[in-house]
Amino acid sequence: MSHITLIRHGQANSQATDEASYDQLSTLGHQQAAWLGDHLRDTHQHHLRLYTGTLRRHRETAASMATGLDPVEDARLNELEYFTLAAALRDEHGVPIPSEQAHFTKHLPRVFAAWQDGILQGAPESFQSFETRVREALREIAAGDGPALVVTSGGLISMAMRQHLGLTIDAMANVALAIMNTSIHRLHPIGGTWAPVMFNAVPHLEAPDRHHAQTHV
């Protein structure tokens, strides 16, 4: 088993209200990714492989990181569709989509719980399908040779943590809310299984003049 370093994409379009308009990096998102790439090079972190989802924000993050590795795109590494799920919860169960960020923290666990319970007819995929594709994609990457970088999204990272830490659905939602843009999360093989040895690290954003770049949305 090879260790896997999961990277959340850089800041996307935080003003978006649908999947399509969200899927592009902001100017800050490109800068966050460039700083991360610099950090990986400056600290001589050794990765032989690079994987991304097929979303624009994944590709742009990988490009701005400038690792020198040729990315392998895999749609199984794509994000869950929060906006679509939220719209289904609103239309089918009367739960409004929050207009303020403070309300989002209570809304996401409700979306995840309804999705897991299978009561969203408008869900683009089942919760169980999402869970399976994440598990299978990461298992295949881990079976390859050498350490791998995986540029993906916060929802997928929270699912990976759920699978390896036994998180409840509420805990998974809380983890997803905490994940920062271009944060680093590492799964390391210990005793024949993966152990999360790093979560939500942003060493490339710790300098005082970069604190403004520690974003969640």
* Amino acid at site 48: L
CA separation for the pair 47, 214 (Å, rounded):
24
pLDDT of residue 1: 66
Rounded Cα gap, residues 55 and 57, in angstroms: 6
Both tokens assigned to 72: 């392998």
Cα 63 to Cα 167: distance, rounded to the nearest angstrom: 32
State both tokens at 167: 């998180």
Closest CA to 138 of 185, 69, 91: 185
pLDDT of residue 13: 83
Per-residue pLDDT of the chain in tens (217 residues, 90 and over written 9): 678 999 999 999 877 677 888 889 999 999 999 999 999 999 999 899 999 999 999 999 999 999 999 999 999 999 999 999 999 999 999 999 998 877 889 999 999 999 999 999 999 999 999 999 999 999 999 999 999 999 999 999 999 999 999 999 999 999 999 999 999 999 988 877 788 999 999 999 999 999 999 999 8
pLDDT at 160: 97
- The pTM assigned to this predicted structure is 0.95
Domains in the chain, CATH or no CATH each: 4-80+147-154+179-204 (3.40.50.1240)
